Amino acid sequence: MEKVLLELSQVAIEFPTDKGPFCAVQNVQLKVKKGEFVSLIGHSGCGKSTVLNMVAGLNQATTGGIVMNGREINQPGPERAVVFQNHSLLPWLTCYQNVELAVKTIFKQQMSRQEMHEWILHNLDLVHMTHAKDKRPSEISGGMKQRVGIARALAMKPEILLMDEPFGALDALTRAHLQDSLMDIQAKLNNTVIMITHDVDEAVLLSDRIVMMTNGPAATIGDILEVNLERPRKRLAVAEMPEYHRLRTEVLSFLYEKHNKVEPIDQASTEKNKNKAGKVA
- Rounded to 10°, the helix 142-155/95-107 angle is 20
**Beta strands, E only, the chain:** 4-17, 20-33, 37-41, 63-68, 71-72, 80-83, 160-164, 193-196, 209-213, 221-226
Q: What angle do CA 241, 278, 171 make, to 5 degrees?
A: 105
3-state helix, strand and coil shares in percent for the chain, rounded to the nearest 5: 40, 25, 35
Backbone φ, ψ for residue 4 (5° rounding): -75, 125
Q: Report the residue number, 85 or 270, with the smaller CB distance to ligand ATP.
A: 85
247 contact partners, CB below 8 Å, separation of at least 6: 204, 210, 225, 227, 229
As measured in angstroms, the least distance from the Cβ of 188 to ligand ATP is 29
Cβ(153)–Cβ(82) under 8 Å?
yes
Q: Which is nearer to ligand ATP, 64 or 78 (CB)?
A: 64
Nearer to ligand ATP, 241 or 281 (CB): 281
Tell me the CA distances in angstroms from 246 to 43, 201, 257, one per residue in order. Answer: 20, 12, 15
Taking the least distance from each CB to ligand ATP, the nearer of 76 and 232 is: 76
CB of 198 to ligand ATP, least distance (A): 6
- Least distance in Å: CB of 158 to ligand ATP? 21
* Cβ nearer to ligand ATP, comparing 14 with 184: 14
User: In angstroms, what is the minimal distance from the CB of 42 to ligand ATP?
Assistant: 6
107 neighbors 116 (Cβ within 8 angstroms): yes
Binding stretches for ligand ATP (CB under 6 A):
15, 17, 22, 24, 42, 44-50, 216
What is the Cα–Cα distance from 140 to 154, expressed in whole angstroms?
20
Dist. CA 103–CA 105, nearest whole Å: 5
